[in-house]
Amino acid sequence: NDRSQSLLSPERIVNIAHRGASAHAPEHTLVSYEYAQKMGADYLEIDLHMSADGELVAIHDQSLERTTNHQQLVSEMELKEIKELDAGSWFNQKNPSIAKESFDHLEVPTLTEVIEHFGNEANYYIEIKAPKLYPEMIDKLLEVLSAHNLLGKDRREGSIIIQSFSAEALQKVHNQDPSIPLIQLMKQPPKDLNTVKQYAVGVGINYKSLDLKSITELREAELLVHAYTVNHPEKMRQLLEWGVTGIFTDYPDVLAGILE
Ligand code: G3P
Ligand code: CA
């Protein structure tokens, strides 16, 4: 792995910390992202939903139920209320062997808090989740990124990537700012590579549907190929041998060890 290359170079393999180092700490908390950085991840992977008062928060599910002590939808609660929730205790209950008292009562972070905490030296791999539910999400996302100098000519190459399963959402971002690197998420490799190439620098694909042939075709089309979500070292090694250019993992420490 040539770490002197840009994060967007096909010669560079990127280590994407899926929801932070989410095997080791409660997903989508500042602590989970801190672990990810310390473990050698290149990217902090951040899923986004929107509060009732229009703030972007880092959380995977539309509902708060799985990862907090509350059952409503993110979209039904104001940010102030979401910030009062406990986004860490569930992890301790689920993983008693690696539970830590310090995980109790961690907060759901906003995108702004994450960016302000980790600054412009970190790299952010941001997912637009459920864009149909949140018509204002894209504008708000671009506004937050712009306010933190993460858009425009001066940003470091690859310091942000925007990903989505929604081609429509990505095309909308592309139309507003064609310089933002976009990754089209999909469960399987696309049949029509040309359409994806019109707006995206690459694809993020479920590793279970990737093989040497599909990865080779995508690489020949000059698309980056990021496989999600890979937690077993043997599988990581195989995908790297087949030519993927990045891996989403809950274990950025394991991937970093392989990439050394
Ligand atoms: O964003 C890539 C991968 O994270 C997609 O799956 O459900 O974990 O967001 P999910
Ligand atoms: Ca994701």
pLDDT class of 13 with cuts at 50, 70, 90: very high
The predicted model scores a pTM of: 0.98
Q: Which atom of ligand 1 approaches the CA of 18 most closely?
A: 4
| Residue 174 annotated as catalytic | no
ipTM tops 0.95: yes
Domain covering 14-259 in this structure, CATH number: 3.20.20.190
**Identity (one letter) of the amino acid at 253?**
D
Domain residues of the chain, as ranges? 14-259
Q: Which atom of ligand 1 approaches the CA of 60 most closely?
A: 9
Q: Which one of the listed residues 28, 60, 70, 117 is annotated catalytic?
A: 60
Ligand 1 mutation target, pool 32, 48, 60, most atoms within 8 A of CB: 60
Nearest CA to ligand 1 atom 2: 228
Residue 185 Cβ < 6 Å to ligand 1: yes
pLDDT digits (tens, 9 = 90+) for 141-159: 999 999 999 998 878 999 9
pLDDT digits (tens, 9 = 90+) for 225-242: 999 999 999 999 999 999
Residue 134 Cβ < 6 Å to ligand 1: no
